[in-house]
Copies of this chain bind each other. A is one copy, B any other.
């Protein structure tokens, strides 16, 4: 029997739940001009009002689907460039140049937004259900004791590939040997915890090899004790907690990092990747900041390249799916997959 022809299970999902907060970008990405960004297959027009409040409107005029982002700002309102309808920042039309009356239905969806931690969070579902307490905690992004460097990447593959990549860090040994991986990561024992919407995979490595990026950024050129937790909060927020210190030295400095990965589906087969690396050491040292600002995207691009290669394979088998074997190390990733599937199923029932 040719194994190549039989699908055994559904595989990486293409769909994502809507009643969730997604990161729409870094706060600094948005200014007093119109910017189009697609999220979960919807075109969205972003801008800031004169008092600096971020606004997100459906990026298609309710009249004839013209992207509002092709229009222009008039004060805090957006003028469509096709027939001139003027929308206020709550999405309601306030002027229709060709007629005096404004129908109640002449409005575009306004997406709830929250700005926090230097990130802009967007709610893609029913407005009434938007609950700010659902936004994952991210104290390090606002804390002056932690230095933050940031960046944005884009991936031509389904978002879930990165969600699962980030929960199985055994790949560090093979995909990132030149930076943050070493031979002993893959074999380190792990433990997993989860709840309704989050997963944590812990990996402790004592007396471990110090990988190249640790030597450069932390000066750890001997054996190290490395403590790593991969934390996922649905639908796409990741915190990689990483502590490292020199092995066997009582009271040695602990170098702590929180690597933040915000994986936001753009369309079914593409995703935004907004990242931030925070650290609690040498926070004023621009050389260390530069190492992370330049080094992190090189590492993450290796993950994107792998994901895009996998996307090409699985797309070729659609609508089927090639056979796939789960390993013990996949417990965290599969738990995250189940959470996404359950959230989608809940929305379908509702």
Contacts and interface: CB of A to CB of B under 8 A. Distances in A.
Please state the number of chain copies in the assembly: 3
Given A66-B310, A103-B325, A84 B173 contact: yes
A108 interface: yes
Interface string A18-58: 10000000000000000000100111000000000000001
Contact of A174 (B42, B65, B82): B82
A168 interface: yes
Given A62-B323, A106-B325, A325-B63, A124 B18 contact: no
A139 to B, nearest CB: 31
Contact of A329 (B83, B109, B127): B83
A67 B322 CA distance: 13
A159 to B, nearest CB: 15
A134 interface: no
A329 B98 contact: yes
Main secondary structure of the interface of A (DSSP, over half): loop
A73 B81 CA distance: 49
Nearest to A59: B313
Contacts of A108: 3
Contact of A306 (B81, B174, B175): B81
A149 B52 CA distance: 50
Contact of A175 (B82, B187, B314, B316): B82
Contacts of A316: 38, 41, 43, 267
Nearest to A11: B65
B309 A83 contact: no
A171 B98 CA distance: 9
A329 B174 contact: no
A96 interface: yes
Contacts of A4: 42, 58, 109
B306 A84 contact: no
Interface in A155-201: 164, 168, 170-171, 173-175, 186-187
A125 interface: yes
Pairs of residues from A and B, 5 with the lowest C-beta to C-beta distance, nearest first: A98-B329, A97-B186, A84-B174, A98-B170, A3-B109
Interface of A: 1-5, 18, 38, 41-43, 58-60, 62-67, 70, 79-84, 96-99, 103, 105-106, 108-109, 124-127, 164, 168, 170-171, 173-175, 186-187, 267, 306, 309-310, 313-314, 316, 322-330
